[in-house]
Each structure stands twice: as C-alpha cells, then as structure tokens.
Chain A
Amino acid sequence: NAGVTQTPKFQVLKTGQSMTLQCAQDMNHEYMSWYRQDPGMGLRLIHYSVGAGITDQGEVPNGYNVSRSTTEDFPLRLLSAAPSQTSVYFCASSRRRVGNEKLFFGSGTQLSVL
C-alpha cells in the first residue's frame, strides 16, 4: 500500500527559484492538504482541497500555489522561493473533509532555500 507519496524527499533552492512539490495518494481520498513543520510551531496548514477542482487557503498560504486537477494529485508550487520557506513540508489526505476524519501523511519533503 503506497498511501501518500511525496517527492522529492530533499531539495535545495536558491532565493527566487521556483519549484513544485509533488503529492499523490492512491486511497481515493476526497480531502488533501499541505502542511509545513517548523521548530516550535508545530504543523501549519498551507492549502487544502476538498475535491478535484476545489482548493482553499489555510493558515499560511502566502508564497504558495496549489491546484487539484485529479483526485489523486495535489502539487504545491513555490513561485519565488524565499529563505522563510525553509521547512519540512507534509502532504496529507483523508476520506472526507469532516473534522473527525484522521489524516494520512506522506513522509515529507525537507526544503532549504539559500
């Protein structure tokens, strides 16, 4: 069972570069989301999607774009990377948006912006 797959696992960018973090799930989950984890801050929601073609902002959306063209994929785009975006990024999915659904997480992408 693949679950939630994130690529790449590690990435180093220079300030101003753009890149896309990939996320795919094979559980036919309706709800997908992106979190970033920073020391002392826990996990903070960046963007989420409740289905193909539907996305919305989370707590810290600035500097990131998302789209959801299929149920399986939910890429996160950094348009112009900044050092403040150095973090560990986690993609997560659940069957539905309802708040009592548990999230399944990918293994994370460690991003450094120099």
Chain B
Amino acid sequence: DQQVKQNSPSLSVQEGRISILNCDYTNSMFDYFLWYKKYPAEGPTFLISISSIKDKNEDGRFTVFLNKSAKHLSLHIVPSQPGDSAVYFCAASISAGGTSYGKLTFGQGTILTVHP
C-alpha cells in the first residue's frame, strides 16, 4: 500500500521555464511534508518542507503547495536551471503521537531533466 505516490516517473523542462513536480498521499494523519533532492551517487538532501497548517511555503526558486482536501502537494521550481536535474522525492510524516510518528514515508521519486 503506497501511502505517498509520485505518479510521474520523469519530467523534462527547458531551462528558464517552470518545473512542477506532483505528489499525492492517502493517509490523512500525515501533517508534515518534505521534498528531497538526490543527485547520482549521493544521498538525498533536504530541499523544502511544509506543515499541514499552511498551504504554501517558499524558499527562493522553490515553492511547495499543499492541498489538504485533495491530499496533494506540488513542488514548483522557477526558473528551472540545468543544475536542478536530479531525482526529487516527496515524503510525509506524522509529527507527533502514536507509533508511526517521526517516520518518513517516501514517494517513488521523479527524475527531473532541465535542458539548456
């Protein structure tokens, strides 16, 4: 049972345009969401996060949007740069309470390629 899904295995974008990566989740208990970026032969690195009490969080070129009613979040990268080419994972967690708290559940990842 995949509780966090990234249905697009790959995305190709021209440099300077917007990249939109999508993520859906099924567990309504998730209340914190994160995006990680992974280059080949490296471990994932934290990119940006959002709490369920917000619907938007920005950090420079990166913005994450959360639609709780649709159980959907998206990562926008504007403008996209060739150095953004990587695998992007979304992840979700339950921030407190119960036996599941503190564990991150990851999506399958989306390979982003930004062409010069």
Report which A residues bind B (CB closer than 8 A). Answer: 4, 31, 33, 35, 40-45, 48, 50, 58-59, 90, 92, 96-108
Contacts and interface: CB of A to CB of B under 8 A. Distances in A.
Interface size for chain B: under 10, 10 to 19, 20 to 34, or 35 or more residues? 20 to 34
A99 B93 contact: yes
Contact of B41 (A45, A92, A104, A107): A107
Contacts of A100: 32, 49, 51, 93, 95
A104 to B, nearest CB: 8
A42 B107 contact: yes
Interface of B: 4, 6, 9, 31-32, 34, 36, 41-46, 49, 51, 89, 91, 93-96, 101-109
B43 A99 contact: no
Contacts of B45: 105
Contacts, number: 73
Contacts of A102: 34, 46, 49
Nearest to B43: A105
A99 B41 contact: no
B87 to A, nearest CB: 9
Nearest to B4: A42
A104 B109 CA distance: 18
Contacts of B9: 40
Contacts of B106: 35, 42-44
B95 A108 contact: no
B32 A99 contact: yes
Residue picked from A48, A50, A100, A108, most chain B C-beta under 10 Å: A100
